Amino acid sequence: MTESTAFIINRRASGLRKEENWGKTQIFLKKNFNQLANVTYYLEEGLEKNIARLNNTLYYKDISDINFKRHKNFIILGGDGTIHVTLQELKKLESLEEKILGIIPCGAGDDISNELNIPNKEIAANCINNALNGNNKYTKRVDLGKAALFKEDIKEELYFLGAVGI
């Protein structure tokens, strides 16, 4: 069975908000990832403009609508917020050990991408493709932070990369 790759795309991210940038991003995705088999693009519902050029697109109202168990590889196009909400869903899986999480920075600050030394989309795409092809030189294991928040009798656990604020 071919490994399945999910692209989680936040069209509200700073670098994807304008139609002109979104058009360029679609060309970028086709150029850099067209050779991948078994790909699903996830876009937030309500942002359907100009997406006809991406095959196999599914829409979600909330990120928790995505079936994360279905995929082995995850590529995020967005900023720190998109990475954060995706991590919350990924941590619900039994194991993350065999998963590849690629980040293509498209946010305003991209603090997490900067901390991980991901300088731009093109270099990120090259590294992700190498990692998906088994070249571990382009992968980095990272530790996730875990914060437990208590409000009355409710405990909520949040996972994070980078910094956390209280």
pLDDT in tens, 113-127: 999 999 888 999 999
| Helix/strand/coil for 13 | coil
Q: Is residue 166 part of a domain?
A: no
Q: Is residue 136 part of a domain?
A: yes
**Is the CB of residue 36 less than 8 Å from the CB of residue 6?**
no
Q: Give the model confidence (pLDDT) of 45-82 as tens digits.
A: 765 555 545 677 888 888 888 999 889 999 999 999 99
CA distance linking residue 100 with residue 75, whole number of Å: 8
The band of 1, judged by pLDDT with boundaries at 50, 70 and 90, is: very low
Q: Is residue 75 part of a domain?
A: yes
Say what the pLDDT of residue 53 is.
Answer: 57
Which domain CATH number covers 54? 3.40.50.10330
Q: Is residue 165 part of a domain?
A: no
Give me the number of domains the chain comprises: 1
Q: Is residue 82 part of a domain?
A: yes
Domain of 19 in residue numbering reads as 5-160
